[in-house]
Homo-oligomer: A and B are copies of this chain.
Amino acid sequence: MANIIDERQSALRNLMEENGIDIYVVPTSDDHASEYVGDHFKTRKYITGFTGSAGTAVITKTESGLWTDGRYFVQAGKQLADNQTILQKMGEEGVPTVDEYLTDQVKALASVGKKPVIGFDGSCMTATDGYKYQEMVAKLGGHLVTDLDLIGQLWEDRPALPNSKPWILTSEFSGKDTLDKLADVREKMTEKKAKYHLVADLCNVAWFLNLRGNDITNVPVFMSYLLISQKDVTLFMGEEGKASDILTSEVMDYLSERNISVKPYDSIYDVLSEIDGDILLDEDFANYKICNSVSKTVKIINEAEPEELMRATKNDTEIANTIQAHINDGVAMTKFIFYIKKKMGQISEDVMEAVAKEEVATGKHIGFPEDEPLTEISAAECIDGLRSEISDYLDLSFGTISAYGPNAAMAHYSATPENYSVVDPRGFLLVDSGGHYKTGTTDITRTIAVGPVTDEEREMYTRTLQSHLRLEYAKFLEGTCGVQLDMLAREPFWEVGKDFKHGTGHGVGHILNVHEGPNGFRWRINGMNSIQELIPGMITSDEPGYYEADRYGIRIENEILCQQAEKNEYGQFMNFKPLTMVPIDLDPVDFDMLSNQEIAWINDYHRQVREAIAPHLTGAALEWLEEVTTEVTID
């Protein structure tokens, strides 16, 4: 009863009452619509108790609800169990969307003669959503209250705003100077007839400036805005008079060499209120308060920030470095899988002999200790440790997912010291992990057979592999889009009436958010925004999977680089180069299901892995690699 969350919501309702607010909306967002947010911005978690990365809370005078997606139904169910917040399972039949719910609520208020008032913190709501709510209440004579951060008023021990010190990604790592990027951006501004351009997406700011920070866990960005005109560039960052607290003299010099001036972060609103020409910005990243600061006489050109597509199309330096990052990452992952297979008794006698010989010769035990069971946690610690030893390692690119058996059926499962599984010698261990290095960012999933698998598991693992390979080895004409190629990955599942309920792939940021757009592989088309052709230089994940609730989960993920293939009378063909260099477990494959072409693809991929990784391994690990990447022949 005296639940802390219910108490907080009760206090919030008092504040709502004081301020004449009927409904208060708390999205998961910082001022920049970041996918992941710093602790300071976890207001939705504060008011609901739900800790997942995605969700929206809506509090009315009598109800409170949390909307989240399928990844989090189980977790949110547990976390909301003790308080009165209703879990709204997005996408389930009969569950209203946030917008539908709000529409019903405001109509109900209007029907009893009230002019509905929706409140939210205008700096943590995208302009797109803010305008939508504005229209919703305006129709009924109501209005919005957006200048109050009510959660902030309640939250006593709120974490401070993040304020990491950015560092410079020098030209041998960035490949293109900010001034060259500026020329490209200004060309786009001219094309769009924009006198000004606001960069609100933190990944775009970091990419443009060739700076990286540490304001968000696993996403090396820093809280800032960039305002670009045809004449000057201003970085909005830090507190008034305290720029030197977060900008080192090296970074200050770097910026001033490029004629980039620095103003306090909070002054963006005043500056925007005084601009005198049309401004290009993306209302899906710029917040409601930002867009309302712009004078009504100025036209907002609401389009994707041009940096997004530029950023997604990696330059030659980024590509060459990323290839190297994947080799280093691949060596760590290869050792890791070898250790798992060894621990679970899944290596051949030949390799076992090599292990024994090496252990005697070096006097060191290889891999996991023998006297402790393998657990999801110890597996994650092992791969995280191997990555951290890589010379230019910066951080994990996301929290390692190490999920055994039924746990792998939960797409965003996270083992904790309080709640984890021991790995038994049967079925699959799924490990989805990656690192940020100065050379680039990785994201890889392997599903490892830790013992015998069932016939069904074997069939579905093989279909997942077919799906993965058909996309990785696709050849296609210039102009083909991710929503189209996704068919190739769906076919092995759809043909038997199965599916996986996530995209097949996402763009991969370069030492930025590991998830980025506009490239991706999905099949649902939601307007032209979901349609992006593949362009050489784009790096996208290829990660089909299959999940049987409470039983098992499978996913196989490589990152693949779009590149040009031959050009002929039919046009410019394109294909993919796999960047991830880690053997795929063939133990659970049903080779009878594979075509000769699919087997040729496996052999081609494993040849590339062997050539890339073998030079960096010795002893038993090398012997194991050579064995598991040996050419498969079918009679």
Query: Which residues of A line the B interface, CB within 8 A?
Result: 474-477, 479-481, 483-488, 490-491, 494-495, 497-499, 501, 523-525, 527-528, 531, 565-566, 568, 570-571, 573, 595
Most chain B CB neighbours (cut-off 10 Å) among A527, A528, A570: A570
Whether the pair A486, B484 counts as a contact (CB closer than 8 A) is yes
Q: Which of B475, B486, B494, B525 makes the CB contact (< 8 A) with A531?
A: B525
A69 to chain B, nearest CB (A): 16
Given known pairs A487-B488, A568-B497, A595-B595, the reply for A524 and B475 (CB within 8 Å) is no
In the assembled complex, which residues on chain B have CB atoms less than 8 Å from the CB atom of A527? 528
B573–A484 touching, CB < 8 Å: no
> Known interface pairs A488-B487, A528-B528, A595-B595. Does A494 touch B481 (Cβ–Cβ under 8 Å)?
no
From the candidates B485, B494, B531, name the one contacting A487 in the complex (CB within 8 A).
B485
Contact in complex: A570, B477 (CB < 8 Å): no
**A497–B528 contact, CB under 8 A?**
no
Asked if B475 contacts A497 (CB within 8 A), the reply is yes
Query: Residue on B with the closest CB to A501?
Result: B570
Contact B565 A497 (CB under 8 A): yes
Given the interface pairs A484-B486, A595-B595, the reply to whether A499 lies near B531 with Cβ below 8 Å is: no
Q: Is there contact, CB below 8 Å, between A494 and B573?
A: yes
User: Which of B483, B499, B571 sits near A477, CB closer than 8 Å?
Assistant: B499
**Shortest Cβ distance from A498 into B: residue:** B570
> How distant is the Cα of A65 from the Cα of B476 in the complex, in angstroms?
34
Question: 16 A–B contact pairs at CB < 8 A?
Answer: A474-B491, A475-B497, A476-B494, A477-B523, A479-B524, A480-B523, A484-B523, A484-B525, A488-B488, A488-B491, A497-B573, A498-B570, A499-B571, A501-B570, A525-B531, A528-B528
* Chain B residues closer than 8 Å to A595, beta-carbon distance: 595
Q: A48 to B313: give the CA distance in the assembly, Å.
A: 47
Query: In the complex, what residue of chain B is closest to A473 when comparing beta carbons?
Result: B495
Q: How far is the CB of A157 from chain B (nearest CB, A)?
A: 43
Closest CB-CB distance, A348 to chain B, in whole Å? 31
Q: Point out the residues of chain B lying under 8 angstroms from A475, CB to CB.
A: 494-495, 497
Q: Which residues of B contact A488 (CB under 8 A)?
A: 487-488, 491
How many Å lie between the Cα of A569 and that of B476 in the bound state?
A: 32
B residues in contact with A498, CB < 8 Å: 570
Distance in Å: Cβ of A549 to nearest Cβ of chain B: 9
A500 to chain B: closest residue by CB: B570
How far is A524 from B491 in the complex, measured between Cα atoms in Å?
Answer: 20
Q: How far is the CA of A623 from the CA of B626 in the complex (A)?
A: 58
Taking the nearest CB of chain B, how far is it from the CB of A83, in angstroms? Answer: 29
Minimum CB–CB distance for A467 against chain B, Å: 14
CB A451 to nearest CB in B, in angstroms, measures 28
- Closest Cβ of chain B to A341, distance in Å, is 32
Q: How far is the CB of A278 from chain B (nearest CB, A)?
A: 20
Considering the complex, give the chain B residue whose CB is closest to the CB of A595: B595
Point out the residues of chain B lying under 8 angstroms from A525, CB to CB.
Answer: 479, 481, 484, 531
Q: Contact at A497–B531, with CB atoms within 8 Å?
A: no
Residues of B with C-beta under 8 A to A523: 477, 479-480, 484
Residues of chain B with a CB closer than 8 A to A477's CB: 490, 494, 499, 523
Considering the chains assembled together, what is the distance between the CA atoms of A477 and B524 in angstroms?
A: 10
Choose among A480, A485, A524, A531 the residue with the greatest number of B CB atoms under 10 Å from its CB. A480
The closest CB in chain B to the CB of A491 belongs to B488
Extra inter-chain contacts (19) besides given A479-B524, A484-B486, CB under 8 Å: A474-B491, A474-B494, A475-B494, A475-B495, A475-B497, A476-B494, A477-B494, A477-B499, A479-B523, A480-B487, A480-B523, A481-B525, A484-B487, A488-B488, A494-B573, A497-B566, A497-B570, A498-B570, A527-B528
Residues on B with C-beta less than 8 A from A484 are: 483-484, 486-487, 523, 525
Measured CA separation A485–B491 after assembly (Å)? 10
CB-defined contacts of A524 to chain B, threshold 8 Å: 479
A503 to chain B, nearest CB (A): 14
- Which residues from chain B contact A474 at a C-beta distance below 8 Å? 491, 494
Q: Chain B residues near A566: list those with CB within 8 A.
A: 497
- Shortest C-beta distance, A501 to chain B (Å), equals 8
Instruction: Determine the distance from Cα of A480 to Cα of B5 in the docked complex, in whole angstroms.
Output: 42
Minimal Cβ-Cβ distance residue in B for A494: B475
Q: How far is the CB of A528 from chain B (nearest CB, A)?
A: 6
CB nearest neighbor in B for A528: B528
Which of A476, A501, A527, A571 has the most chain B CB within a 10 Å cutoff?
A476
Contacts of A476 in B (CB 8 A): 487, 490, 494
Q: Which residue of B lies closest to A533 (CB)?
A: B525
Interchain CA distance A523-B499 in the complex, whole Å: 23
CA distance A481 to B486 in the complex (A): 12
Query: From residue A498, how far is it (CB to closest CB) to chain B in Å?
Result: 6
Query: Roughly how many angstroms separate A492 CA and B494 CA in the complex, as a whole number?
Result: 19
How many Å from the CB of A526 to the closest CB on chain B? 10
